[in-house]
Amino acid sequence: MPKTFFITGVSSGFGRALAEAALAAGHTVIGTVRNAQARAAFIGLHAERAHAHVLDVTDFDAIPDVVAQAEAAAGPVDVLVNNAGYGHEGILEESSLDDMRHQFDVNVFGAVAVMKAFVPLFRQRWRGHIINITSMGGFITMPGIAYYAGSKFALEGISEALGKELHQFGVHVTAVAPGSFRTDWAGRSMVRAERSIADYDALFDPIRTARAARSGKQPGDPAKAAQAILTLVESAAPPAHLLLGSDALGLVRSKLAQMEQDISAWEALTRSTDG
C-alpha cells in the first residue's frame, strides 16, 4: 500500500536517496529543505506526490505549523524519517561549547521537536513509524567526533525509550545506524574545528586526513540504504535498532564483544556494591 513519508533534509545524502526511492515506489513524500530554490527543485521530482516545505529543524517553534500544513496538503503521514543532521569533527579540548550546542540542537533537539509534533497524531491514529537516522557513531566512538557521537548516542537512547512508550498504540520507532556511506557527511556537510594543540597531532591528524581522503569512496551505497529503509517500513514488527553497512556491523559487534569481556572481568566488583 502506498504510504506518505515526511523526511527532513531531502536536498542531499540519505534524505534525497530515500525520497527518490519512495517516489519511485509509488509513495508520497513530504520533504523539508532549507530554501525556496531547493523547494522548487524537490517538487519538480513528481507533479503530484512530491511536496516540500522550507524548514530549519532548529526553528523549534515553526515545526508544528509546518507539520499541520504538510498534512493538510498531502494527507496523514505514515512514516516520519528524521534525517536532517550533520557531523562535527574536532578534538574535544579544541571544540567550543557553542559547537556542541549547535550539534545537539540539530541532531537531537531538532529531531525530538519534529517527533513531538507527530507523536500525538500517530498515537491518536494508532499507527505510524518513526525512523531516526543515527549512526554507527551512536554505538562506537573514535577520537575527534566526541560531539557527534554524543548526539547520536543520545538519539539512539531517546528512540529506544520512545518506542517503548508508543508500542501500546501500534506506533513503531526504529533508530537506523548507517556505517560509512557515499554521502556528503565527511565532505562539504562536515563542520571541522580548527587545530590548536600540538599534543594531539600524532593521534588526530592522520584520522582527519584519512577521513577527508575517503569522502566519496566509502563502501556504502545511499541508494541501497534507501531500499533497505523501504523494506524496513513494510515490516509488521520492525526492530528498535537497525545497522546499515558491513563496516557498522563489524565495528558494533567488536564493541559488544569488548563490553562483554569488560563486564565479565569486573563482575565481582560490580556485584560488591549490593547491600
Instruction: Based on the residue annotation, tell me whether 148 is a catalytic residue of this protein.
Output: yes
Strand partners, 5: 29, 79
Burial class (CB in 10 A: 0-12, 13-18, 19+), 94: middle
Residue 19: its H or E element: helix 13-24
Which strands make up the sheet holding 129-133, listed edge to edge?
A: 50-54, 28-33, 4-8, 79-82, 129-133, 172-178, 241-244
Contact 136, 125 (CB under 8 A): no
Q: In whole angstroms, what is the distance from residue 177 CA to residue 135 CA?
A: 4
CB contact set of 63 (below 8 Å; sequence gap of 6+) = 55, 57, 113, 114, 117
Name the strand (E) or helix (H) holding 210: helix 201-214
Which of 86, 147, 148, 200 is labelled catalytic? 148
Catalytic residues: 148
